[in-house]
Amino acid sequence: MILEPIPVHDDGALPGTVLTEVTELYASNREFFAFSGDFPDPEHITEEQVAAALADELARPTAEVLLARSEGRLVGLAITLGQHPNPEDPDPWIGLLLVDAKLHRTGVGRQLADLVEDRFRTAGREAVRLAILEGNDQAGWFWTNRDYELIGYAEDLEQKRPCVLMRKELNTPAA
């Protein structure tokens, strides 16, 4: 698996083929988006909605949208934030880790998380944080099994949904 930043044209637009791939990835995760409420109709996620969501993410100064490819095929996506808006928070964040739903429980999510963590580790970062929506038990299980520890509770910045905050020390290479 390789991890690469999403290509963006000078005008901020995504190449059409990439946007189509990413939209298909989002659409495969209907259950998650029904739970999160990020899209008005998770049964019909459109390219325009995904383009707008990604543009909002990329508008943050230290944000990256990373595409995970295996054998040339898009299998996942990670959205990271190198610096949280709270200046007292020293850690980078994983904002979203999304895997093609057909590949859930195949190890692709673990590989993608490893690559993201290694990226931060290589950049000299000591830990990484994330927030999962309260009630997202699958995500809680996934991250807990990756040695992320509960550090608190808060609301997400945009939609004020209750979240569980987790953190992982990056002092050792991924297993």
150-160 tens-digit pLDDT: 999 999 878 88
* Helix/strand/coil for 65: strand
Query: Can you give the pLDDT at residue 87?
Result: 82
Task: Mention every residue, 6+ apart, whose C-beta is less than 8 A from residue 1.
Answer: 68, 69, 70, 75, 108, 111, 112, 115
Give me the half-sphere count of Cα atoms (radius 13 Å) on the Cβ side of residue 101: 11
CA distance 155 to 162: 4
Query: Can you give the pLDDT at residue 173?
Result: 56
Query: Which overall architecture, per CATH, does domain 2-169 show?
Result: 3-Layer(aba) Sandwich (3.40)
Element counts in the chain: helices (H) and strands (E): 5, 7
Whether pLDDT at 95 is above 60: yes
Give residue-wise pLDDT tens across range 107-121. 999 999 999 999 999
Where are the chain's structural domains? Answer: 2-169
CA distance 137 to 142: 9
- For residue 175, the 8-state DSSP code is -
Query: Can you give the pLDDT at residue 159?
Result: 85
- For residue 112, the 8-state DSSP code is H
Query: Can you give the pLDDT at residue 145?
Result: 96
Whether pLDDT at 22 is above 70: yes
Give residue-wise pLDDT tens across range 49-71. 999 999 999 999 899 999 999 99
Residue 14's pLDDT band, with cuts at 50, 70 and 90, is: confident
